[in-house]
Amino acid sequence: MILKEAFRMQNHLYDLSMEAKLFLSQSQNLMSTKEEHLRSRSNPGATDETVEVLKPNEMKVDRVIDLYLDIIAEREKLGKAISKAKSTVDFDMDVAISTNKIKQELSEKLKALTELKSSETKVEGIDYLINSEGNQTPYKYVVRKVSTIDFNRESVKGIIKRLQRETDEISCKVDLINVTLDVDYTSKYDLDDSFEDIYRAFEKM
Protein backbone atom coordinates (compact mmCIF):
# COMPACT_ATOMS: atom_id res chain seq x y z
CA MET A 1 0.00 0.00 0.00
CA ILE A 2 1.09 3.61 -0.49
CA LEU A 3 2.11 5.75 2.47
CA LYS A 4 -1.16 7.69 2.54
CA GLU A 5 -3.14 4.44 2.87
CA ALA A 6 -0.71 3.21 5.52
CA PHE A 7 -1.37 6.33 7.59
CA ARG A 8 -5.12 5.80 7.22
CA MET A 9 -4.74 2.20 8.36
CA GLN A 10 -2.60 3.34 11.27
CA ASN A 11 -5.40 5.67 12.40
CA HIS A 12 -7.97 2.91 11.90
CA LEU A 13 -5.97 0.48 14.03
CA TYR A 14 -5.73 3.13 16.73
CA ASP A 15 -9.51 3.63 16.65
CA LEU A 16 -10.04 -0.14 16.86
CA SER A 17 -7.76 -0.39 19.87
CA MET A 18 -9.73 2.41 21.56
CA GLU A 19 -12.98 0.48 20.97
CA ALA A 20 -11.44 -2.63 22.50
CA LYS A 21 -10.29 -0.56 25.45
CA LEU A 22 -13.78 0.91 25.85
CA PHE A 23 -15.34 -2.57 25.81
CA LEU A 24 -12.97 -3.68 28.56
CA SER A 25 -13.81 -0.56 30.59
CA GLN A 26 -17.56 -1.24 30.80
CA SER A 27 -18.58 -3.47 33.69
CA GLN A 28 -21.70 -4.77 31.91
CA ASN A 29 -19.41 -6.45 29.38
CA LEU A 30 -17.22 -8.05 32.02
CA MET A 31 -19.76 -9.62 34.37
CA SER A 32 -22.44 -12.28 34.03
CA THR A 33 -25.49 -11.33 36.04
CA LYS A 34 -28.45 -13.38 37.17
CA GLU A 35 -31.49 -12.26 39.06
CA GLU A 36 -33.25 -14.52 41.58
CA HIS A 37 -36.90 -13.53 41.81
CA LEU A 38 -37.83 -14.86 45.25
CA ARG A 39 -41.58 -14.45 44.95
CA SER A 40 -42.44 -17.30 47.33
CA ARG A 41 -41.09 -15.36 50.29
CA SER A 42 -43.86 -12.84 49.89
CA ASN A 43 -46.43 -15.08 48.21
CA PRO A 44 -46.33 -18.80 49.21
CA GLY A 45 -48.34 -19.69 46.12
CA ALA A 46 -45.88 -18.05 43.71
CA THR A 47 -42.97 -19.74 41.96
CA ASP A 48 -39.38 -18.52 42.32
CA GLU A 49 -37.47 -17.84 39.13
CA THR A 50 -33.83 -17.28 38.16
CA VAL A 51 -33.26 -15.02 35.14
CA GLU A 52 -29.98 -14.51 33.29
CA VAL A 53 -29.55 -10.82 32.46
CA LEU A 54 -28.62 -10.38 28.81
CA LYS A 55 -25.39 -8.55 28.06
CA PRO A 56 -25.48 -5.56 25.69
CA ASN A 57 -23.56 -7.58 23.09
CA GLU A 58 -22.32 -11.12 22.50
CA MET A 59 -18.59 -10.44 22.39
CA LYS A 60 -16.55 -12.52 24.81
CA VAL A 61 -14.07 -10.80 27.10
CA ASP A 62 -11.25 -13.30 26.47
CA ARG A 63 -11.59 -12.98 22.71
CA VAL A 64 -11.72 -9.18 22.87
CA ILE A 65 -8.45 -9.26 24.84
CA ASP A 66 -6.95 -11.56 22.18
CA LEU A 67 -8.16 -9.21 19.45
CA TYR A 68 -6.81 -6.19 21.33
CA LEU A 69 -3.38 -7.86 21.48
CA ASP A 70 -3.59 -8.70 17.78
CA ILE A 71 -4.43 -5.08 16.92
CA ILE A 72 -1.45 -3.89 18.98
CA ALA A 73 0.80 -6.32 17.11
CA GLU A 74 -0.55 -5.06 13.78
CA ARG A 75 0.04 -1.45 14.81
CA GLU A 76 3.64 -2.30 15.69
CA LYS A 77 4.13 -4.18 12.42
CA LEU A 78 2.67 -1.32 10.38
CA GLY A 79 4.67 1.28 12.32
CA LYS A 80 7.91 -0.52 11.54
CA ALA A 81 6.94 -0.83 7.86
CA ILE A 82 6.18 2.90 7.68
CA SER A 83 9.48 3.78 9.35
CA LYS A 84 11.38 1.53 6.96
CA ALA A 85 9.67 3.07 3.94
CA LYS A 86 10.31 6.62 5.14
CA SER A 87 13.99 5.82 5.71
CA THR A 88 14.38 5.44 1.93
CA VAL A 89 13.37 9.07 1.36
CA ASP A 90 16.17 11.62 0.86
CA PHE A 91 15.00 13.79 3.79
CA ASP A 92 13.54 13.25 7.26
CA MET A 93 9.79 13.53 6.73
CA ASP A 94 8.89 13.74 10.41
CA VAL A 95 11.35 16.57 11.05
CA ALA A 96 10.25 18.36 7.86
CA ILE A 97 6.55 18.14 8.77
CA SER A 98 7.20 19.29 12.33
CA THR A 99 9.35 22.19 11.14
CA ASN A 100 6.75 23.13 8.53
CA LYS A 101 4.11 23.40 11.24
CA ILE A 102 6.32 25.72 13.31
CA LYS A 103 7.10 27.88 10.25
CA GLN A 104 3.39 28.14 9.39
CA GLU A 105 2.60 29.22 12.96
CA LEU A 106 5.37 31.84 12.80
CA SER A 107 4.09 33.06 9.45
CA GLU A 108 0.60 33.60 10.91
CA LYS A 109 2.11 35.53 13.83
CA LEU A 110 4.18 37.71 11.48
CA LYS A 111 1.11 38.45 9.33
CA ALA A 112 -0.55 39.88 12.44
CA LEU A 113 2.52 42.10 12.95
CA THR A 114 2.23 43.57 9.45
CA GLU A 115 -1.32 44.68 10.23
CA LEU A 116 -0.19 46.86 13.14
CA LYS A 117 -0.30 50.61 12.48
CA SER A 118 1.24 53.61 14.17
CA SER A 119 -1.25 55.59 16.21
CA GLU A 120 -1.68 58.85 18.08
CA THR A 121 -4.09 59.46 20.96
CA LYS A 122 -4.69 62.23 23.45
CA VAL A 123 -5.36 61.65 27.12
CA GLU A 124 -5.70 63.89 30.14
CA GLY A 125 -2.84 64.28 32.59
CA ILE A 126 -2.91 65.82 36.09
CA ASP A 127 -0.10 67.68 37.83
CA TYR A 128 0.19 70.07 40.77
CA LEU A 129 1.49 73.58 41.23
CA ILE A 130 1.98 75.93 44.18
CA ASN A 131 -0.36 78.92 43.87
CA SER A 132 0.28 82.46 45.07
CA GLU A 133 -1.06 81.57 48.48
CA GLY A 134 1.43 78.72 48.83
CA ASN A 135 -1.16 75.95 48.44
CA GLN A 136 -0.70 72.87 46.22
CA THR A 137 -3.27 73.02 43.44
CA PRO A 138 -3.99 70.35 40.80
CA TYR A 139 -4.28 71.24 37.16
CA LYS A 140 -5.08 69.26 34.01
CA TYR A 141 -3.15 69.14 30.78
CA VAL A 142 -3.11 67.23 27.47
CA VAL A 143 -0.88 64.19 27.02
CA ARG A 144 -0.26 63.31 23.39
CA LYS A 145 0.53 59.56 23.17
CA VAL A 146 2.28 58.49 19.96
CA SER A 147 2.86 54.76 19.26
CA THR A 148 4.98 53.73 16.27
CA ILE A 149 5.85 50.24 15.04
CA ASP A 150 9.28 49.21 16.26
CA PHE A 151 10.28 46.89 13.42
CA ASN A 152 10.89 46.88 9.66
CA ARG A 153 7.50 46.05 8.10
CA GLU A 154 8.97 45.32 4.67
CA SER A 155 11.57 42.99 6.17
CA VAL A 156 8.81 41.08 7.99
CA LYS A 157 6.81 40.81 4.76
CA GLY A 158 9.90 39.39 3.05
CA ILE A 159 10.29 36.77 5.79
CA ILE A 160 6.63 35.78 5.40
CA LYS A 161 7.10 35.25 1.65
CA ARG A 162 10.23 33.17 2.23
CA LEU A 163 8.51 31.01 4.83
CA GLN A 164 5.57 30.53 2.47
CA ARG A 165 7.86 29.34 -0.32
CA GLU A 166 9.70 26.95 2.01
CA THR A 167 6.56 25.45 3.55
CA ASP A 168 4.87 25.10 0.16
CA GLU A 169 7.91 23.29 -1.21
CA ILE A 170 7.99 20.83 1.70
CA SER A 171 4.22 20.32 1.58
CA CYS A 172 4.41 19.44 -2.13
CA LYS A 173 7.26 16.97 -1.49
CA VAL A 174 5.38 15.34 1.38
CA ASP A 175 2.15 15.15 -0.66
CA LEU A 176 4.02 13.48 -3.52
CA ILE A 177 5.69 10.96 -1.21
CA ASN A 178 2.35 10.16 0.45
CA VAL A 179 0.89 8.98 -2.85
CA THR A 180 3.98 7.36 -4.38
CA LEU A 181 6.01 5.78 -1.57
CA ASP A 182 5.26 2.08 -1.19
CA VAL A 183 4.95 0.60 2.30
CA ASP A 184 5.66 -3.12 2.51
CA TYR A 185 2.62 -4.07 4.56
CA THR A 186 -0.47 -6.15 3.86
CA SER A 187 -3.33 -5.39 6.20
CA LYS A 188 -5.33 -8.20 7.78
CA TYR A 189 -8.14 -5.73 8.49
CA ASP A 190 -10.24 -3.64 6.16
CA LEU A 191 -10.50 0.12 6.53
CA ASP A 192 -14.28 -0.06 6.20
CA ASP A 193 -14.74 -2.75 8.84
CA SER A 194 -16.16 -1.80 12.21
CA PHE A 195 -14.84 -3.25 15.47
CA GLU A 196 -17.81 -5.64 15.53
CA ASP A 197 -17.05 -6.78 11.95
CA ILE A 198 -13.44 -7.45 12.85
CA TYR A 199 -14.41 -9.25 16.05
CA ARG A 200 -16.74 -11.61 14.15
CA ALA A 201 -14.01 -12.40 11.60
CA PHE A 202 -11.49 -12.87 14.43
CA GLU A 203 -13.85 -15.34 16.16
CA LYS A 204 -13.83 -17.55 13.10
CA MET A 205 -10.03 -17.64 12.87
Spell out the residues 6+ positions from residue 74 whose beta carbon is closer than 8 angstroms to its own.
13, 187, 188, 189
How far apart (Å, rounded) are the C-alpha atoms in residues 190 and 205? 16
| Cα separations in angstroms, 151 against 92, 102, 154, 157 | 34, 22, 9, 11
Most confident of 136-140, 147-151, 165-169: 165-169
The vertex-73 CA angle with 70 and 76, nearest 5°, equals 155
Per-residue pLDDT reduced to its tens digit, 5-61: 999 999 999 999 999 999 999 888 888 888 899 999 999 889 999 988 777 788 999
Question: Worst-scoring range by mean pLDDT, 32-36, 61-65, 159-163, 175-179?
Answer: 32-36
Average pLDDT, the chain: 93
Whether residue 10 contacts residue 85, with contact meaning beta carbons closer than 8 Å, is answered with: no
Q: What is the pTM of this model?
A: 0.73
Encode burial over 156-171: b for 16+ CB neighbours within 10 A, e otherwise: beebbeebeeebeebe
pLDDT of residue 58: 84
- What is the CA angle 71-74-75, rounded to 5? 85
Average pLDDT over residues 159-180: 96
91-126 confidence digits (pLDDT tens): 899 999 999 999 999 999 999 999 999 999 999 999
Residue 182 DSSP code: B
- Residue 25: its pLDDT value, please? 92
As a whole number of angstroms, the distance between CA 40 and CA 165 comes to 84
Instruction: Give the tens place of pLDDT for each residue, 66-80.
Output: 999 999 999 999 999
Domain spans of the chain, in order of start = 1-34+50-88+190-205
